[in-house]
Structure 1
């Protein structure tokens, strides 16, 4: 079955973007469930027994060796400058695109889900549910006209990721976003994993015939529901809906990449969607993890950790407290955080010049009128001495 074929609700692995309905189920054996299963069930029993007063915790937790010399933002900068940092993975959510004018999903007033009343949906998330789409695709295509890629410039955050690539440090960029701004920023296509799919290709839900972005754009902006030319099927962009599997490329790259990672940077994600959120647990125990986000995120099972029932390096999300040995949070807007990181690495002026030049190029070439297309693959420069 194709990665975008309709499935039952029990097949849900991940939704579009950075949200998930509270009743969404996850298939047994999926990436997210496999990661969470690593959490010792006995630890949960011990935690509950402790809280209920059945016994006192007498076993001391094993000390965890500190990864960073300083578990601070400056400590991360020192790590990236050091010789051990050669393969950085970036994980991105909607927060890296909000400064481009694209709404995130969760904000109480400006978020996408808060502003869907006009579509008369049974619930906001229904607009991205494959079963609802098959019954009534019109609301999605009305919304797609507003969200369709184009007319947006990549942000400082996107260009920082490109700069990581140009410095020879980017192993892979995993994005939850469907806005194609990574492509527009000039990040090499082989470095991008669009975990929640893309608008750039579309397929008929019945016969699986592929359609171009130009076909989809013409239909959407003509207020038509795209219908296959070979059968009566509806043509849907290859973005991942609730009820669909993640792209095969995501599964393939995850297996290759994460044990090689020696620095993980998470940007603008609430880390609440599975299995994407559990990618933070796939890196080695000695790999530092930096969160650049408006608020702390990804702190699953923090009560168990606080009671010493799981170690700081056990699967269960980020550890963003005084006991952290490798996890650092830089709170604030993603663009500010990326520019701050570039400044401290000595790349600040280079990043500013890159953003200015690329924005001017996009405007002069008229490349903001259509989605950002595929880019040629390009290997990172073999110049490790020039990474600083």
Structure 2
């Protein structure tokens, strides 16, 4: 059983919900026990317990608490003022965003992978928490906030090093964000934005952009194909903490349904994939997963060969 040293969470961004019933827990336990290669599809709801807000949760998500919306890829590429605003807010939010730690759910999924139960983790999140928790086979569907690169050439730089570059030009700004947003940026004054300097690519003078799939952009085709390959070699799909509102993730629900791959969902609110799933448990991830018992699949396979 998982002990308290793995527990690191904040419930400020977890929406209201009822406790997980014993009956619901038994449904999840049966699903996990009956399948040997489960592909995990995680969304923002798994990271809310680490203190990172999501977009759509009732009362606590960004869309419920603010009229601000994420930057669109078209606006970022076409407007230097949009890029200036994006990087100024991201610069101030980065120290906090990059310091978030995986919570119990991330740790448990990593443990399941080490036992051979999880074949792959596909995450919509850019926070890197699955890697921090120890998961190995992770596909970051929407990219990662921890890497930056030029859109015109092959230049890349880690986000930590890019923070140092930004600091050289903008050391007048206080790194004290009032609140964090799902992708790591914060609200700051227009005065601070207008003063902010964004360096160009040192190789070609091009636009520097985080390795994140912005709203309005497409997930790279090769990444989609890799997920399809992983799904084809799995015998079940378990969605954890995602409303499946965006097509980039929802497409894999449709593919699983078409391929007769069983689908289970753990998410507090209703999801776009509910009609295709065997069940949806409307409970907090960190409440459900610790109560699920998982055997070591590798040991089971070895015993069967004797």
Q: What TM-score do the two structures reach when normalised by structure 2? A: 0.71
Contact 1:197 / 1:239 at 8 angstroms: preserved in 2? yes
Say what the alpha-carbon RMSD is for the aligned residues: 2.8
Corresponding residue number in structure 2 for 1:47: none
The structure 2 residue matched to 1:329, chosen from 275, 280, 289, is 280
Give distance in 2, aligned partners of 1:224 and 1:183.
31
The structure 2 residue matched to 1:240, chosen from 208, 213, 234, is 213
Q: Does 1:296 align with 2:270?
A: yes
Q: How many equivalent residue pairs?
A: 248
The structure 2 residue matched to 1:255, chosen from 228, 231, 237, is 228
Give distance in 1, aligned partners of 2:105 and 2:83.
33
> How far apart are 1:249 and its partner, in Å?
4.4
Corresponding residue number in structure 1 for 2:93: 146
SS at 1:281 equivalent: helix
Change (3 A) 1:226 1:245: farther
Corresponding residue number in structure 1 for 2:247: 274
Q: Does 1:90 align with 2:40?
A: yes
The structure 1 residue matched to 2:115, chosen from 167, 177, 181, is 167
Change (3 A) 1:141 1:382: same
Contact 2:117 / 2:297 at 8 angstroms: preserved in 1? no
> How far apart are 1:138 and its partner, in Å?
2.1
Give distance in 2, aligned partners of 1:251 and 1:113.
27
> How far apart are 1:248 and its partner, in Å?
4.3
Give distance in 2, aligned partners of 1:386 and 1:115.
52
Residue segments in structure 2 that go unaligned for 5+ positions in a row: 1-22, 171-195
Q: Does 1:225 align with 2:171?
A: no
For residues 90-140 of structure 1, the C-alpha deviation after alignment (integer angstroms, 9 at most, x for no partner) is: 1111000011111111235542345666xxxxxx33x42112113021222
Residue segments in structure 1 that go unaligned for 5+ positions in a row: 1-70, 118-123, 299-316, 321-325, 348-379
Q: Does 1:319 align with 2:275?
A: yes
Q: What TM-score do the two structures reach when normalised by structure 1? A: 0.57
Give distance in 1, aligned partners of 2:103 and 2:302.
24
Structure 1 or 2, whichever has the larger Rg, is 1
Contact 1:261 / 1:283 at 8 angstroms: preserved in 2? no
Change (3 A) 1:220 1:249: farther
SS at 1:241 equivalent: coil
